[in-house]
Chain A
Amino acid sequence: MQPYAYPLAVLLFPGGLFALVLGLALKGVDRRLAARLQRRVGPPLAQPFFDLVKLAFKRTMVPDIASQPVFLGAPLVGAATMMLAAAMVPIAGVYTPDPALGNLLVLLYLLAIPAVVLMIAGSASGSPFGAIGFSREMALMLAYEGPLVLVVAAIAVRVGHGQGGWASFSLTEIVAYQARHGAFLFDPVMWPALLAFLAFYPANLGIIPFDIPEAETEVLEGPLLEYSGPALGLFKVMSALKSVVVLSLGIALFFPTAPSGVAGLAVQLCKLLLLMLVGVTLVRVSCGRMRIDQAFRFFLKWPLALSLASLVAVVVI
C-alpha cells in the first residue's frame, strides 16, 4: 500500500469529505422524506449544509463551570474518530480497506466513542440536563452494545467456519466470503441477527424512538444543551459521519453484493438510501419516544434474544 493511501482514505474517500457530504445529504433526504410522510413540504435537500454553514458563523459560548479543554475537545475527538471509522468500512467492489484498518473489533470500539464523547461532553458542560443526558446515554449504550457484539460475533463465527478457522473479524474477509457464498441477507440463520441490527440503528444514531439521551422536549437535547456555534457544528459532523459508518457497516455485514467500479458506488448509494428509509425514516416518523427503562428492557429482551439465537444457530450448524 502506498504511503499516502491512509491519509487519503481517512480524509477524502471513503472517510472524511466524501462521508461527510454523503451523511449530510442522507440527513437532508431523511428530513424531506419524514416531512412528506407527515404531509408537509419539508426543508430543502441541502438544509443540513445550510445548518452547518450557519453554525460556523455563530459564537461558541463556554459555561463558567465547564471544564474548557474537555468541553471543546470532546466534539473534536468524536468527529475525528468517525472520520477514521468511515475509512474502515469496505464498500463492495469499490473500496477495500487495508487489513490493519478493516478490523471489525476495532470498528466496534470506535463506534462506541461517539456515545462516550457525548457522555463526556454532557458531564463537562456542568449542566444538570447534561448530567441526565449522560446517565441516559450510558444506560442506552449498555443496552444496545450487547446485542451488537453478539450480531458481530455471529457473523465472525460464520465467516470463520467457512474458512476452516474459528472466527474472522476482518471486514474484508466478511465481504469476500459473502461474495463467494451469497449475502447473509438471504441466509435464514442470519435473519434474527439482521432484525437485531435494525433495532440497533435508531439507538446508535440517536433518533426516535431511542433519542432518549438527546430528547429536546425532556432534557433539552441533553449533552448538547450547552454547545453552540462551531462546537455544535462538529457534533453535527460527527452524527452525519456516524450515520454513514453505521449504515454502510450494515450493508457490508449483510448485503455487500455489488458490481465493481462506478456502478458499485451507485449501487452502494442506492442501498444506503433504501436502508436509511427503512431503518431510520420510517421508524422515526411512526414511533413515539420510549422511556429509558422501556428502551433498556426492550434491548435486553428482543435484540439480545434474536442475536443470541443467530449466534447459537451459527455455532451449532
Chain B
Amino acid sequence: MTRFIQTLTDQAKRLATRSPWIYRINAGSCNGCDVECATTACIPRYDVERLGCQYCGSPRHADIVLITGPLTARIKDDVLRVFAEIPEPKVTVAVGVCPISGGIFRESYAVHAPMNQFIPIDVNVPGCPPRPQAIIEGVAEAIAIWRARL
C-alpha cells in the first residue's frame, strides 16, 4: 500500500514538473536580459508554453525565478523581500553574467555582486545577454533540479 502511494506520488511529481511557472525579478538589470526573457516568453518562435511554462505576474504563483541584473544597492532589500514571497519549492535561475559575478559592474560600490551571497542561485546562464535558446536550456536545467525538490 505504501509502495502504491509512493509510485502515485512519483507519477504526480512527474506531471507537476510539466507546469513550471516563471517569474522574473529585475535586480537592477540594464534590460538587455529582460528583453531576451521577454523574447523567449512572447514570440511564437520560441513558445515556452510548449513546455508548460507560463509567465506569472505574482511571485506567489512562481516556481522558477529568473533573476537578471547585478543586485544594485538600491534595490537589494526589495529583491530579497520579493524573493522571500515565492513559495517553496522554488528554483532560481540567474540570467546573464551580472547576477552570477557582477559582470561589467563587478567591484562597483553600487552593486552587491555576486548575488549568491544573498540568494541561493541554482542555475547560471552566462551571457551578456544570453540568447533565448540558452535561457530555455537554463530553464530545462532548473526543471531537473525542481523535480528533485518537489
Contacts and interface: CB of A to CB of B under 8 A. Distances in A.
- Do A's and B's CB atoms come within 8 Å in the complex? yes
Nearest to A225: B58
B87 interface: yes
A54 interface: yes
B150 A221 contact: no
B85 interface: yes
A103 interface: no
A53 interface: yes
A49 B19 CA distance: 9
Contacts of B15: 49-50, 53-54
Chain A interface size band reads 20 to 34
Interface of A: 31, 35, 38-44, 47, 49-51, 53-54, 56-61, 216-217, 220-221, 224-229, 232
Interface in B26-71: 44, 47, 49-50, 52, 54, 56-58, 60-61, 63
Interface string B88-125: 11000000000000000000000000000000000000
A61 B87 contact: yes
A40 B60 contact: no
A229 B87 contact: yes
Interface in B1-31: 12-13, 15-21
20 contacts: A40-B50, A41-B50, A42-B50, A47-B19, A50-B52, A54-B19, A57-B89, A57-B150, A58-B87, A58-B88, A58-B89, A59-B88, A61-B87, A216-B57, A216-B58, A225-B57, A225-B60, A227-B60, A229-B87, A232-B61
Interface of B: 12-13, 15-21, 44, 47, 49-50, 52, 54, 56-58, 60-61, 63, 85, 87-89, 150
A71 to B, nearest CB: 12
Contact of A53 (B12, B63, B87): B12
A47 B21 CA distance: 12
Nearest to A226: B60
Contact of A61 (B16, B19, B85): B85
Q: Which of A41, A58, A216, A227 has the most CB of B within 10 A?
A: A58
Q: Is the interface of B mostly helix, strand, loop or mixed?
A: loop
A74 to B, nearest CB: 15
Contact of B44 (A39, A53, A217): A39
Considering the complex of A and B, which 7 residue pairs feature the smallest CB-CB distances, nearest first? Answer: A216-B57, A220-B57, A228-B60, A54-B16, A50-B19, A54-B19, A40-B47
Given A53-B16, A58-B89, 18 more contacts: A31-B49, A35-B47, A41-B47, A43-B50, A47-B19, A50-B19, A51-B52, A53-B12, A53-B19, A54-B16, A54-B17, A54-B18, A57-B89, A61-B60, A61-B87, A216-B58, A221-B57, A227-B61
A223 to B, nearest CB: 11
Contacts of A50: 15-16, 18-19, 52
Contacts of B63: 54, 58
A265 B88 CA distance: 42
B87 A59 contact: yes
A3 to B, nearest CB: 33
A80 B12 CA distance: 24
Given A47-B19, A53-B16, A226-B60, A42 B87 contact: no
Contact of A35 (B12, B16, B49, B150): B49
A260 B72 CA distance: 67
